[in-house]
Structure 1
Amino acid sequence: MEYLSRLLQLGAMMPAFWFHPMCKSLKIINLCFADDLVIFCKANCGSVQIIKQVFDDFCNSSGMKANLRKSQVFFGGISTQDKAQLQQVLHLEEGSFPLKYLGIPMRPTKWNEADCGEILKKIKLRLHTWSSRHLSYAGKVQLISSVLLGLRNYWMNIFLLPQSIIKEVDKLCMWFLWGNNGSWSNFHLTSWSNVCLPKSFGGLGFGEGTKWNKAMLGKYIWAISHQREALWVKWIHSVYLKGQTFWHYQLKADTSWYWKKICQLRSIFTQEDIDKASSQGKFKIGLLYASLIHQAPVKYHQFVWSRMSVPKHKFITWQAINSKLLTRDHLLRVFMLLESTLCPVCELVDESHSHLFFDYIFSQQVVRHIQDWVSCNWLLCFSVWTGWIEDMRRGVRASLVAAIFSATVYYLWHNRNNCFIHHYSLSVKAVIDMIKKDIMYRLSFSHKKLRGFELSF
């Protein structure tokens, strides 16, 4: 390709060659992407004949040959008669937009909903594959983050998606997380807007579609305003800015729709927001996204999302600390008819988060034994408990304590569900043994040294 590029540069020096109007300032003739080659020139016979001659010389010298079936020519702003004349020289089929490259449809005009249908198609295909599997909430969260939102973010990394597509993607992810088969939907007490918040703000870190899309495109503003060493940045400065700064540039009527979308982000992000979103010379999308969230961060996230904790324990603890588990007092608030509001474990007191984890003698016996096991106090009061979590310091010991008490919350909730579904309760010893077994198994795969902290059955 370097040899071909040099031949094209030599051909561009001939008097009959004219650069493409948008490439003239930087003298761009060709771009190479992986195994694809794009060549630009003015749509006249002289330029096209030179390109054709250079390409033929390259094929004769290298022994390679172009696959005409996979090659196309694209025209813009010329008559049908001129197109026919140029095609006689090139002998190539005329391509049509949208042009798909790396799975993304490209077009010179604004995107529409039909162009983005591929995203929904791929997401629904994966949801259909997963529908027959029994997945925990933690497993669903992982699949949403790494697969479904990975597909969405791949497209958001390039364009501003239509709002209808963003809402449909959010709806599919929400149905998959909480459960939906088209005719019914499971209860979910945490709103999707809160679920999408970063973990440091009390959510699951999915990223709210519209805001995340704009934050992802903010990296282009950062690259332009800091004049990063990239061909496309040089092209923007050469064709549009022409010595002006990005923040003082005045949009013109004949600019492309994509450039207009980028410039319109100035009404959302300030120069200060963009500058603060960089760290050690690299742009951080998460930092810019956080600037769009107008609420205080939570203090419990390091405890809940400790790396040492089991993923399914983390999710239940996250729900518990936000009082979002489907206890009977909550079901009653959403006007669900219940035969009884009593705790399914003791059947003596109305069920609530406070009763289930702190007030009931069963949970108190479990917690006290775990306290003795780890030599750490779990205060038996919901408000004091949350304050204790928020004040917990960082470190290996804190991570281990978080893992142990997350397991305790999980198995107390597991026993409650066992009573509700199967109508019998496990013994205190059985619950304690399950907690210890999970923690010891987790520690056996941990590479961290826990000096001065001994655990045993």
Structure 2
Amino acid sequence: MRAFSSFSNASGLSMNNAKYEIFFNGVTEDIREGIKLVTGFREGTMPFRYLGVPIKAGRLTKQECSSLTEKMVSRIRGLGAKKLSYTGRITLINAGLNTLHNYWAQMFIIPKSIINHIMAICRNYLWDGSPDYHRVPLVAWDKVTLPKKEGGLGIKKADVWNVATVGKLVNWVYCKADRLWIMWINDVYIKNQDWHGYSPPSDAIWGGYDWICPAHMTLNWSAIVWNNWNIPKHSLTTWLIMHERMNVKSKLFRFGCCEDDLCILCQRQTEIVEHLFTSCTYTVTVQHHLLQWYGGSFPTVDSLIADNRNSIQWRIKVAMFNAFQYFIWFQRNNARINEWLLRPEVVARRIEEDIKRRVNQKFRAVDDQTVFSWLQSIGVL
């Protein structure tokens, strides 16, 4: 209390005793009452909240962690989050929901039931815009949480991330970091004993996360889907196509959700993914109008995999390919739900306009005069 008084005299700041509590362990009732009399603090009970999280001596219970999931749900239900596109929802999950979880995960082992609830909230929000289960996910969550190069969306696994972040605390104890609680642990428990012989790197959290998650094969189409010149919503459509998770009419017809399985765009053949995006007469006409602008032959997944991935031409071609997939699927859904369809040349023009805007956002000056002339010829510059 003399130290608090000295600090107050030097800084002009003083404590508000009504907001302070004191906690005891291993002392007699007489000492406890004497300390409360000297300090004027009231005795608190655990758990108490500090910086938004519950603090207690033992592991947190499901009830004590429920405020974490409540905050995640309230964030989803506010700010028009339900109206976001798939790409917007992925961004909110990574930048908003997982940030809340990460704050807690760096301090505690979160109960398994809460971890499962967090993953369920993220999964349900991604596919339905709601924290509750209303819609069957298009892609399994284990696949969604894979890195993008392995066919996933790069969303972190909440359970693995919790283990990896707590592993960082172990690293601090081992390295005897300059923190009060670590000094206490080393002085009271570890003392002069060696922790172990392994010295983790500075990026211990991501290193631990990658070490715990089993490695999968890098997919040769991942660079096509996640090329940074793509418009994000276009990439997600292509990602679903590559995983064969599009609800085309052939699939809906098998489940009794529609009267026939004919392609909505041409009304001639069965609507399967291959027909819809490659051989449908509407699709082929859109491709024809695009090639009048771009030239050459229309790209395919195989041709894009084989091409030089470092060229600007390849990036623009990939961006056009992803935009084409998105607009065909958009028009298909528009015809099914609203019963009207844009002319192929209008769709091609909108794809062209999107690509030109995107290239102007990403383009940096190049020394290659041939590339520069080509960009001018397609009207990008």
- TM bucket (normalised to shorter chain) is 0.7 to 0.9
Q: CA deviation at 1:191?
A: 0.9
Aligned to 1:350: 270
Are residue 326 (structure 1) and residue 269 (structure 2) matched? no
Cα offset, 1:293, TM superposition: 2.2
The aligned counterpart of 2:326 is: 410
What is aligned with 1:443?
A: 359
- Which of 93, 99, 105 is the equivalent residue of 1:144? 93
- 1:204-233 CA-to-partner distances (Å, cap 9, x unmatched) read 111122112112223233444455555555
- Aligned residue number for residue 85 of structure 1: 34
Distance 1:146 1:321 in 2: 26
| Aligned mate of 1:76, from 25, 44, 50 | 25
3-state SS of paired residue (1:114) = coil
Aligned-residue identity in percent: 27
Work out the CA distance in 2 between the residues paired with 1:398 and 1:225. 48
SS of match in other structure, 1:207: coil
Letter in 1 for 2:83: H
Q: Which one has a bigger Cα radius of gyration?
A: 1
TM-score in terms of structure 2 length: 0.87
For residues 226 and 189 of structure 1, do their structure 2 counterparts lie closer, same or farther at Cα, with a shift above 3 Å needed?
same
Aligned length: 371
CA–CA separation in structure 1 for the residues paired with 2:351 and 2:145: 30
Q: 1:409 to 1:229 in 2, by over 3 A?
A: same
Alpha-carbon contact 2:139-2:245 (below 8 Å) kept: yes
**Equivalent of 1:386 in 285, 293, 301:** 301
Among 338, 360, 364, the residue aligned to 2:284:
364
AA of the residue aligned to 2:205: I
Summarize the Cα distance change of 1:91–1:190 in structure 2 as closer, same or farther, 3 Å threshold: same
Per-residue deviation, 1:371? 4.4
Partner in structure 1 of residue 346 of structure 2: 430
Residue 247 of structure 1, aligned match among 174, 185, 196: 196
Task: Determine the C-alpha separation between the residues in 1 that align with 2:78 and 2:12.
Answer: 46
Match of 1:107 among 23, 46, 56: 56
Q: In 2, distance between residues paired with 1:376 and 1:286?
A: 43
For residue 25 of structure 1, what is the aligned residue in structure 2?
none
CA gap of 1:131–1:164, structure 2 versus 1, over 3 A, is farther
CA positional deviation for 1:123: 1.4
Instruction: State how far apart, in whole Å, the 1-side matches of 2:183 and 2:214 are.
Output: 33
Deviation at 1:78, TM superposition (A): 1.6
- The 5-angstrom pairing of residues 208-227 of structure 1 reads 208-226=157-175
- Relative to structure 1, the CA distance from residue 205 to residue 182 in structure 2 (aligned partners, 3 Å threshold; closer, same or farther) is closer
Distance 1:63 1:209, change over 3 A: closer
CA displacement 1:324-367 (0-9 Å, x = unmatched): 1111233355x344211111111111111111111223222323
- The aligned runs of 1:25-36 (5 Å cut-off) are none
Which sections of structure 1, spanning at least 5 residues, go unmatched?
1-51, 249-270, 380-384
- Distance in structure 2 (CA, Å) of the matches to 1:212 and 1:60: 45
Kindly indicate whether the alpha-carbon contact (under 8 Å) linking 1:180 and 1:186 is maintained by their aligned counterparts in 2: no
Contact 1:99 1:105 in 2 (8 A): yes
Cα distance between partner residues in 2 of 1:184 and 1:87: 51
State the 1:376 CA deviation. 5.5
8 Å contact 2:327–2:351 — kept in the other structure? Answer: yes
Q: Structure 2: state its 5+ residue gaps.
A: none
